[in-house]
Amino acid sequence: MLPHTTITDGLQISAKRAREIFNETVWPSFPAEDEERRARLVHAQLLHHFNLTAQQLPLLELNMADRAAPFRLAPASLERRSKL
């Protein structure tokens, strides 16, 4: 019979891998550009649904490292910046 620590280590490794697989299937990773595009799409849908302007409901960016002012206005979209 294997020592208790070997069995425990094996179970912990197995459980960790199962969590990784579960997280990959539930929360697939997306490139940052896709996340920004999705956020801008949802923002546009909110504006349309509630009949608001971007000045009334601005799109914000979160910077968790900045404790004094974590939110700021999001810069122009990628497509807009490339056209300018």
pLDDT per position in the chain (84 positions), as tens?
455 566 667 777 787 877 777 766 555 566 767 788 888 999 999 999 999 999 999 999 988 999 999 999 998 875 555 555
Do 19 and 55 lie in one domain? The reply is no
Do 1 and 23 lie in one domain? The reply is yes
Do 56 and 79 lie in one domain? The reply is yes
pLDDT at 1: 47
Do 56 and 17 lie in one domain? The reply is no
pLDDT at 8: 66
The angle formed by the CA atoms of residues 36, 58 and 63, to the nearest 5 degrees, is 55
Do 38 and 79 lie in one domain? The reply is yes
Q: How many CA atoms lie within 13 A of 58 on its CB side?
A: 10
Do 36 and 7 lie in one domain? The reply is no
pLDDT at 76: 81
Do 37 and 60 lie in one domain? The reply is yes
- Residue 67's domain comprises 31-84
Do 26 and 43 lie in one domain? The reply is no
Stated pTM of the model = 0.55
Name the β-bridge partners of 61: 72
pLDDT at 21: 74
pLDDT at 25: 58
Q: What is the C-alpha to C-alpha distance for residues 6 and 12, in angstroms, rounded to an integer?
A: 10
Do 37 and 13 lie in one domain? The reply is no
| Rg, the chain, Cα only | 22
Residue tagged 């409901």 (tokens): 57
